[in-house]
Amino acid sequence: MTETALENLTQRLKQAIPALIDNAPVFLDAPSGTQMPRTVLDAMNQYVTVGTANRGGIFPTSLETESLLLDTRRKVCALLGASDHQVVFGQNMTSLAFNAASSLRRDWADPSKSVVVSELDHHANIDPWISCADDAGMAARWLPVDPHRYCLDLSGLDALVDDDCALVAVGLSSNAVGTASDIGPIIDRARSVGAVSVVDAVHGLSHIPVDVDELGADITFFSAYKIFGPHIGAMVIRNDALDRIRFHKLAPAPRTGYGKAELGTQNMEAVAGLSATIDFVASFGDDVSADLRHQITSAIGNFARCEEELTDHFVAGLQTIDGVTLARAPHGIPKTSTVAFTVTAASPESVAFACAKEGVYITHGDFYARTLAERTDVAHAGGWLRAGIAPYHDRDDIDRALNVLDRAIRLARRQP
């Protein structure tokens, strides 16, 4: 897309999202959740307004709910490039991961086995696996992070992921510092030794087109609230993995397909919102006549191009502010538009609070990337400040944020 086309895309997004209209704050907290467009809100409201229903009835609202669920699963498969998979809905990734881990635990009976997790990851992709491994007397191994480059060190991958490995879990990108990991070799290695492979795409999906068929991962998680949607999660699982895992379930529940792993009545209005979310994303693709998958991947690529220039501008601006230290992978390592940093002699909380008072919303803390915060030696000081740029931001938003940050940092460093 041309620069003008990208600017038009941003303006379309701003006009489509009610929270961004009329002197809105600068919502620079996209990694914590993006703002929702009107079409998504309307879809959720419409589902509730015309009459809700559960599955299993022969009356119209129940049949419409069943159709909604099936159609949304199809759209999720298009979103993730999944063909030989089932889509399992749930409250969020953490809940879905703990269910999958506790189900896998039923067949983890060999203490000589291990699970491999990543020091770069959100703990939703760490604790479910290592807690259940610990219950089974199995060891946890760690894919190490290079604390100076904010990326994974894969030099010892083959030794870590060996024939004794039962599961490997890795993130598509870091929700804390934005590093986009090269996970292909990790998934390939897991499959070569017969280990279950798990990908956390929650943070990465809104910035990086995902093709789970190409990756070959057994389980992939995502959450809609990171990509203009409501608070609902999904687990996309390969059919052969679904067949192998003995998921905890109610006795009357199906023994095959997504129903084998999906627990209870779902948040149907959020499913309606997710369906509208995927349509909304696709509408920003380059060719509306293309199939849904191509529209989605094109749109996510366009979003990433919008974010890239703004992120470079934001990073350059941060580097002119006294006391700021970026926590960012060096040039040449792929990154998303998530930017983490610390400030000398100022707590992350005090800076974030001062920014919020001026209408710039940035987050602070470790963002559940606790191990990464410890390995990079920021946990003791309250973690990082984190800004997350979305395609609905423009240059004016970023300049306003930089000006506010400069004042907030000066204020915080003067305080005792």
Rounded mean pLDDT of the chain?
96
Determine the Cα angle at 340 with ends 335 and 346, to 5°.
Answer: 165
287: pLDDT strictly greater than 90: no
Q: Give the residue from 111, 120, 177 showing the smallest Cα distance to 144.
A: 120
CATH placement of domain 42-281: 3.40.640.10
Strands 363-365 and 384-388: antiparallel
Q: Are 274 and 224 in contact (CB under 8 A)?
A: yes
Q: CA-to-CA distance for 372 and 365, rounded, in angstroms?
A: 12
Q: What pLDDT does 124 receive? A: 98
* Alpha carbons within 13 A on the beta-carbon side of 361: 15
Backbone angles phi, psi at 234, to 5 degrees: -145, 145
Q: Which residue has the tokens 């390969």?
A: 238
CATH topology of domain 3-36+294-414: Aspartate Aminotransferase, domain 1 (3.90.1150)
Give pLDDT tens digits for 178-216. Answer: 999 999 999 999 999 999 999 999 999 999 999 999 999
Mean pLDDT within 259-263: 96
Classify the phi-psi angles of 155: left when phi > 0, otherwise alpha if psi is within -120 to 50, otherwise beta: alpha
Give the start-to-end residue ranges of the domains of the chain: 3-36+294-414, 42-281
How do residues 345-370 score in pLDDT, each as one tens digit?
A: 999 999 999 999 999 999 999 999 99
Say whether pLDDT at 250 is over 60: yes
The reply to whether the predicted model has a pTM over 0.85 is yes
Answer whether 349's CB lies under 8 Å from 378's CB: no
Element (H, E) at 85: strand 85-90
Distances (CA, A) of 64 to 78, 84, 253, 375: 21, 25, 21, 50
Residue 412: per-residue pLDDT = 86
Contacts for 8 with CB less than 8 Å, ≥ 6 apart = none
pLDDT, tens digit, 9 for 90 and up, residues 371-413: 999 999 999 999 999 999 999 999 999 999 999 999 999 988 8
